[in-house]
Amino acid sequence: MDVFSLEKENCKVRFVSSVPLSDYYENNKDLLEFFNAELIRENNDALPTLYYVDDPSESVYYQDGDIFVNYPCNKMTPSNILYIGYQLLEREFGKRGLCTCHSSCVAKDGVATLFIGEAGAGKTSVAINLCINDGYSFVSNDCSLIGLEDDKLKVFGGTKFIRLRYDSVEQNMPYLTRLFQSDSEGWTNKILLMARDIGMEEQYDPVEIKNVVFLHVDNRKDSLSISPGDNWRNNFLLYQNLSSHIRGHAATAVNHLGHPIGFIPSFDDQDTYEKRMRVIQTINGLDNYYSISGNLDDTINFVNSINDKDKQKVLRRDSNG
């Protein structure tokens, strides 16, 4: 059996598998949503555990804090199996008051800016342009691990891989169209790469989040609409976003075709809920929490302006001791 654990921010999950998973993780962790968790070769049965057995019975169940998957390996991929274990890791994150947030995030001068928005809102385009053209470092794309530490909102890690569609690149980042072999079928023509592959500096250390922007990039607009982030729609979406993994809405146990293969319960509880609510309340209390809609250039200029204002606050505070 292949036995190991994955650890991130003092949260651990053990894997016990009849197929080799640890080498797969080590070779592919940049492309997995584990926030670069450290692999530890240990056998601590006190840890929450995913047990996987190559078995034709096709059964999946949750018992005594662990997940048991008995399923033929020719119908599973290593990433399928690992992602089922991510459910347990999210439960451990929740106990610490951390949660997975669907977002992009960049950092500059010790300040992180978190971009939230629905699919296609332009989060990736804004983050890439800021990193390539304006000196930001790349914290995350797609998923960010956020939470409170010493009453400060921080980002503790994020996925660094990027899926680019030709249509979006042609519209918002034309200097990257060279990465595509053709311009055919623009919406389905996709590539996968790491931030560093296109010259962006990757940020791995925790950074304080001082700017949160709900955005919608719309290049048809001639002006930028700006409003406070704390509104009914954003609160609904923010709760939905930060709850999706712990409640099992973002992913479930699936086979190699993406078909659900078994029930895994929500790992939310009163204590985890209250910690998550403190994260949301902290976001709502930020000075720089905005909802914006407009073209890409105006959006980037706005983000630079709030980051520069925050930098000046830090400089004034430091100069005053």
Q: Following DSSP, what letter does each residue of 178-224 receive, concatenated?
A: GGSS--SSTTT-EEEEEGGGGTPPBP-S-EEEEEEEEEEE-TT-SS-
- List, in order, residues 6 or more apart from 120 with CB less than 8 Å away: none
Does 223 lie in the same domain as 112? yes
Residue 67 to residue 60: CA distance in whole angstroms = 7
Does 200 lie in the same domain as 59? no
Number of domains present in the structure of the chain? 2
Longest Cα–Cα distance of the chain, Å, equals: 68
Phi, psi for 151 (deg, rounded to 5)? 65, 15
- Within a domain: residue 267? no
- Within a domain: residue 271? no
Does 137 lie in the same domain as 74? no
Question: 151 is written with which tokens?
Answer: 């009453």
In the prediction, which pLDDT does 61 show?
A: 94
Does 315 lie in the same domain as 200? yes
In the prediction, which pLDDT does 310 show?
A: 58
Question: 288 is written with which tokens?
Answer: 């720089």
- Within a domain: residue 276? no
* Tens-digit pLDDT profile for residues 97-113: 999 999 999 999 999 99
- List, in order, residues 6 or more apart from 124 with CB less than 8 Å away: 104, 141, 142, 162, 164, 168
- Within a domain: residue 147? yes
Does 149 lie in the same domain as 42? no
CATH no. for residue 155? 3.40.50
Residues of the chain below pLDDT 70? 183-187, 309-321
Question: 121 is written with which tokens?
Answer: 């809102």
- Within a domain: residue 265? no
- Within a domain: residue 307? yes
What is the pLDDT of the chain when averaged over all its residues?
Answer: 92
Cβ pair 160, 138 in contact under 8 A: yes
Select from 96, 121, 146 the last residue of a domain.
96
Select from 96, 122, 145 the last residue of a domain.
96
Select from 78, 96, 114 the last residue of a domain.
96
Tell me, what DSSP letter sits at residue 96?
Answer: T
Domain residues for 31?
2-96
Closest CA to 231 of 212, 210, 209: 212
Does 167 lie in the same domain as 144? yes
Does 75 lie in the same domain as 193? no
In the prediction, which pLDDT does 167 show?
A: 85
In the prediction, which pLDDT does 311 show?
A: 54
The residue written with tokens 């990193």 in the block is 131
Q: Which amino acid is at 246?
A: I
In the prediction, which pLDDT does 319 show?
A: 43
Q: Is 162 strand, coil or helix?
A: strand
Does 123 lie in the same domain as 83? no
Residue 9 to residue 246: CA distance in whole angstroms = 17
Beta strands in 18-167 (DSSP E): 38-40, 49-53, 59-63, 66-70, 98-102, 104-108, 111-116, 137-140, 143-149, 152-158, 161-165
- List, in order, residues 6 or more apart from 21 with CB less than 8 Å away: 2, 4, 15, 52, 78, 81, 82
Tell me, what DSSP letter sits at residue 37?
Answer: P
Does 123 lie in the same domain as 79? no
Checking DSSP bridges between strand 260-262 and strand 207-217, what pairing results, if any? unpaired
Closest CA to 108 of 317, 321, 300: 300
Strand partners, 5: 14, 40
In the prediction, which pLDDT does 165 show?
A: 86
Question: 41 is written with which tokens?
Answer: 């070769």
- Within a domain: residue 54? yes
Does 126 lie in the same domain as 83? no
- Within a domain: residue 105? yes
Does 162 lie in the same domain as 66? no
Does 292 lie in the same domain as 178? yes
